[in-house]
Chains A and B, each alone.
Chain A
Amino acid sequence: MAAPEKISVYSLNDLKNTSDDAIPAYLNSLKFKQSHTLSDVRLALGYSAFLICAACFYWDYKFGFESTKIYTTIAVALYTIINSALTLWIWGVEKGIIYVGTTPNGEKIEITTSVKKHVPVYNIVVKTTSKSGKTKEIKFKREFRKWFDAKGNMVAQPFQQLWASNVECIGMVDQKNIVRTKEEGKKTIEVAGKDASMDEKWASLLAESQPGVTGVETESGTASKRGKGKK
């Protein structure tokens, strides 16, 4: 699964793109079913705009401007509309979503990643929808150096561990990659969906940070402090 080529570790774009590309490869290897609807719509819009342009170029080249003026006007209008739709789709619907799929357990998962300019940190938002319709949003971030070596090779294991440990529905399928270290828990900011109660939220937070602690009530005070500090 590791990326086939070395990248420059100083290029944030390369870091993000290589990591983004590794996610579908990893998840699909866990028998996740990837949905390509988003990118397919984008490609369809883009290529139909391009085809209109190509047709316009052809008749302009073949028959000249004057005799094809009406068609050219229509083509220009259509192209403008399709291109705006494409822009809206990329900014309004895709919004940086790099993976949409279904887990082997039937949960829906949607992964959005982003980087801030000149900050080598991978920001991840995972939205999961269980079969009963409960949505849950998990946000976490991690430095790219955790899974890129100094030469710019991507190392698959820590990357997979990051996903398996932080995202429940991935961990369920990929148990061997779950690591419960202090650090993994500390940096996780979990934002439970609106359906989840506060207790559930604290419970999951505690489960992430302190394996073995069972008493939710007794520990909830420290958990809430920690939660505030992180935000």
Chain B
Amino acid sequence: MLSALQNPRQAAAQLLNFGLILSTAFMMWKGLSVISDSPSPIVVVLSGSMEPAFQRGDLLFLWNRNFMEETKVGEIVVYNVKGKDIPIVHRLVRKFGTGDEAKLLTKGDNNVADDTELYARGQDYIERKDIIGSVVGYIPFVGYVTILLSEHPWLKTVMLGIMGLVVVMQRE
């Protein structure tokens, strides 16, 4: 590793290896985003409000294109509420009207009441543009790592540090 410092090309190549790992991961994510037309095509369930369908830690795959038909009542959708940064996974239970202006109401399977409480102040319904995707597939439990990471933020720093070190120390 030290010898790399004497040779700028080799140092640049080693740095590039690290950069390419990061950038490839990011571009794969963005590629998935572009294909599914969703800003966040994979999400992790953070709450138990959709039990027994989804548990905390489940990984969900989203699809945000309407090829043949509109988003229907009964689909499980992930939506954003203005002013809140955490997307919510709930089922679409009411739909009034069609197209982009349709008024949509959602509710968690495990919740007693519908989501009007969760929406922004004064908001009674969501629209199609608030939705970032419908759930098309899931893997149970694997997302639990990210819950751990977000609940213990220092773990992120530690993990990034270890990953960086490993890549820089190894040449392959």
Contact = CB atoms under 8 A, between A and B. Distances in A.
Most chain A CB atoms below 10 A, which of B9, B30, B172: B30
Contact of B39 (A4, A46, A65): A65
B155 interface: no
Interface in B4-25: 7, 9-10, 12-13, 16, 19-20, 22-24
A73 B27 CA distance: 10
B26 interface: yes
Contact of A50 (B23, B31, B39, B172): B23
Interface in A37-92: 39-40, 42-43, 46-47, 49-50, 53-54, 56-57, 60, 64-66, 69, 72-73, 75-76, 79-80, 83
Given A4-B3, A5-B2, A46 B31 contact: no
Contacts of A75: 27, 30
Nearest to A86: B20
A36 to B, nearest CB: 7
A43 B13 contact: yes
Contacts of B10: 21
Contacts of B34: 69, 72-73, 76
A13 interface: yes
A76 B27 contact: yes
A69 B26 CA distance: 15
B172 A46 contact: no
Contacts of B16: 43, 46-47, 50
A216 interface: no
B121 interface: no
A72 B20 contact: no
A222 interface: no
A76 B13 contact: no
Given A79-B27, A83-B24, A72 B19 contact: no
A43 B30 contact: no
Contacts of A39: 9, 13
B13 to A, nearest CB: 6
A39 B17 CA distance: 13
A17 interface: yes
A3 B171 CA distance: 16
B33 interface: yes
Interface of B (DSSP majority class): helix
A73 B36 CA distance: 12
B9 A36 contact: yes
A54 B12 CA distance: 17
Nearest to B129: A66
Contacts of A76: 27, 30-31, 34
A13 B26 contact: no
Contacts of B26: 53, 56-57
A222 to B, nearest CB: 43
Contacts of B24: 83
Contacts of A72: 30, 33-34
B102 to A, nearest CB: 19
Interface in A1-56: 3-5, 13, 17, 21, 36, 39-40, 42-43, 46-47, 49-50, 53-54, 56
A5 B30 contact: no
27 contacts: A3-B3, A4-B2, A5-B2, A21-B10, A36-B9, A39-B13, A40-B9, A46-B16, A46-B19, A46-B20, A49-B20, A50-B16, A50-B19, A50-B20, A50-B23, A53-B22, A54-B23, A60-B30, A65-B39, A66-B39, A69-B34, A72-B30, A72-B34, A73-B34, A75-B30, A76-B30, A79-B23
Q: Which 6 A-B pairs have the closest CB atoms?
A: A65-B39, A53-B23, A46-B16, A50-B19, A76-B31, A79-B27
